[in-house]
């Protein structure tokens, strides 16, 4: 796994600050990163210094980092050359999904000011993610940040993961503005049946509120990516959900069916929740076929390619973030490896019944 937070001894300031790590420090936003002895890297920025363990600066060069003296950490907010940079807006959430990969907390640590500064320093044309918890619990702060960053950096694009339950008609001017159009809203929808959806997200009335939010997004002609995490609870309901999406959310592009991530709550209830798509792809195939007939673009996220029948493999891009991605011994020499997304780092070998090198 690639570490996103590194222990750092920070001197010369009490306040956290964001800098870009470079070998030459040519602008005021740059900090100089160099090796001082065989096991220490030093970051210099004006009168501040930070020390991290390591012998090779190259994995960090170009990163936009948050150095925090109080926590003695260096957080890699934007890793140079990575397509998977996401800001954690909050760990608070108003749902309690049965398979939540990041179980919510009651406290909120506000990092908007640092995320804004990091976004302004992002590489040209970068796509930056915002996730939680539920980011729109801080909707005003989030919209303001996106407006300011877009004004200064119109080249950037954003992806915000949200339960869409906090949008109202008053948000349409922002959602349909030039800043709002730089955002793709990733919205989880788990079933066409209100009771089943609410049961999966652990919140009464969530389905109803989600439909209202989707209506707002639709009216604003916002970019919506629907996300359906596959579990034993909703696998057989996928074809019905496909009909629902084609009728009521046809503007979704794409509709992503996602394999389960074995972390957080899903880790505790893995045997109960994991639906082995290598042993039974039937409801997934049926759902894809229904969506395709209505020209709703459908993708499979986090599916190892050999667990997908060949005719559907083109729909399964490599989506697992680089920092938490791995391959198994089985994958050695596989002809699909270059286009396969492999596994989450916390995956265990026994999950899929059929896993075959191609
Ligand atoms: S064997 Fe490994 S690399 Fe090949 S398709 Fe399966 S998961 Fe992907």
For residue range 158-211, what is the model confidence (pLDDT) as tens digits?
A: 999 999 999 999 999 999 999 999 999 999 999 999 999 999 999 999 999 999
The region of weakest confidence among 23-37, 90-104, 254-268, 321-335 is 321-335
Domain identity same for 185 and 324 = yes
> Would 192 be classed as within a structural domain?
yes
Domain identity same for 134 and 256 = yes
Ligand 1 geometric centre to CA of 57 (Å): 32
Where do the DSSP E strands lie in the chain?
5-7, 9-11, 17-22, 30-37, 40-45, 48-53, 64-68, 73-78, 85-88, 127-131, 157-161, 183-188, 223-229, 255-258, 298-301, 325-326, 343-344
> Would 277 be classed as within a structural domain?
yes
Across the chain, how many H-helices and E-strands are there?
Answer: 9, 17
**Cα(126)–Cα(88) distance, integer angstroms:** 17
> Would 356 be classed as within a structural domain?
no
Say whether pLDDT at 355 is over 80: no
**Cα(95)–Cα(156) distance, integer angstroms:** 30
Domain identity same for 82 and 149 = yes
Residues contacting residue 340 through CB under 8 Å, at least 6 positions apart? 304, 305, 306, 318, 327, 331, 334
308 lines ligand 1 (CB under 6 A): no
Number of domains in the chain: 2
318 lines ligand 1 (CB under 6 A): no
Ligand 1 atom nearest to 328, measured from its CA = 2
Q: What is the pLDDT of residue 348?
A: 78
For residue range 89-134, what is the model confidence (pLDDT) as tens digits?
A: 999 999 999 999 989 999 999 999 999 999 999 999 999 999 999 9
CA distances from 256 to 55, 136, 143, 299 (A): 41, 21, 25, 5
Domain identity same for 223 and 327 = yes
Ligand 1 atom nearest to 357, measured from its CA = 1
Ligand 1 geometric centre to CA of 356 (Å): 7
Pairing of strands 30-37, 40-45: antiparallel
Ligand 1 atom nearest to 330, measured from its CA = 1
265 lines ligand 1 (CB under 6 A): no
Domain identity same for 23 and 88 = no
Confidence of residue 339 (pLDDT cuts 50, 70, 90): very high
278 lines ligand 1 (CB under 6 A): no
266 lines ligand 1 (CB under 6 A): no
For residue range 52-82, what is the model confidence (pLDDT) as tens digits?
A: 999 999 999 999 999 999 999 999 999 998 9
Containing domain of residue 230, as a range?
Answer: 78-344
For residue range 132-142, what is the model confidence (pLDDT) as tens digits?
A: 999 999 999 99
b/e 175-185 (16+ beta carbons within 10 angstroms → b) = beeebbebbbb
342 lines ligand 1 (CB under 6 A): yes
Say whether pLDDT at 50 is over 90: yes
> Would 355 be classed as within a structural domain?
no
Domain identity same for 61 and 86 = no
Last residue of a domain, one of 12, 44, 77: 77
297 lines ligand 1 (CB under 6 A): no
Best CA proximity match to 64, nearest among 7, 128, 107 = 128
For residue range 210-233, what is the model confidence (pLDDT) as tens digits?
A: 999 999 999 999 999 999 999 999
Average pLDDT in the 254-259 region? 97
Last residue of a domain, one of 56, 77, 98: 77
For residue 299, the domain's CATH number is 3.20.20.70
Say whether pLDDT at 354 is over 80: no
**CA torsion sign, 161 to 166 to 171 to 172?**
positive
For residue range 238-252, what is the model confidence (pLDDT) as tens digits?
A: 999 999 999 999 999
Last residue of a domain, one of 61, 77, 93: 77
């Amino acid at each position: 796994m690639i570490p996103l937070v590194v222990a750092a001894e920070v001197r010369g300031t009490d306040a956290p600050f964001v800098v870009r790590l470079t070998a030459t420090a040519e602008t005021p936003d740059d900090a100089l990163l160099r090796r001082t002895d065989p096991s220490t890297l030093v970051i210099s920025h004006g009168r501040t210094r930070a020390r991290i363990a390591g012998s090779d600066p190259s994995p960090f060069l170009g990163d936009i980092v948050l150095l925090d003296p109080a926590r003695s950490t260096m957080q890699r907010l934007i890793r140079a050359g990575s397509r998977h940079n996401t800001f954690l807006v909050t760990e608070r959430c108003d749902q309690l999904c049965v398979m939540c990969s990041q179980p919510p907390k009651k406290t909120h640590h506000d990092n908007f000011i640092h995320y804004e500064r990091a976004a302004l320093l992002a590489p040209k044309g970068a796509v930056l993610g915002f996730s939680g918890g539920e980011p729109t619990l801080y909707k005003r702060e989030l919209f303001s940040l996106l407006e300011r960053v877009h004004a200064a950096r119109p080249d950037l694009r954003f992806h915000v993961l949200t339960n869409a339950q906090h949008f109202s008609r008053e948000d349409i001017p922002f959602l349909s503005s030039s800043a709002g159009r730089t955002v793709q809203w990733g919205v989880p929808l788990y079933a066409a049946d209100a009771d089943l959806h609410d049961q999966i997200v652990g919140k009464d009335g969530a389905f109803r509120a989600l439909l209202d939010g989707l209506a707002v997004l639709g009216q604003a002609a916002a970019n919506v990516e629907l996300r359906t995490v596959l579990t034993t609870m909703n696998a057989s309901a996928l074809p019905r959900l496909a009909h629902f999406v084609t009728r009521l959310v046809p503007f979704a592009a794409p509709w992503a069916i996602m394999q389960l991530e074995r972390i957080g709550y899903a880790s505790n209830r893995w045997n109960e929740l994991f639906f082995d798509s290598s042993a039974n792809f039937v409801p997934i195939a049926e759902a894809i076929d229904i969506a395709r007939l209505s020209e709703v673009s459908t993708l499979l996220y986090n599916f190892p390619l050999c667990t997908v029948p060949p005719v559907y493999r083109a729909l399964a891009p490599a989506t697992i973030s680089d920092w938490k991605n791995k391959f198994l011994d089985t994958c050695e020499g596989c002809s699909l490896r270059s286009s396969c997304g492999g596994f989450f780092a916390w995956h265990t070998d026994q999950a899929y019944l059929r896993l075959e090198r191609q």
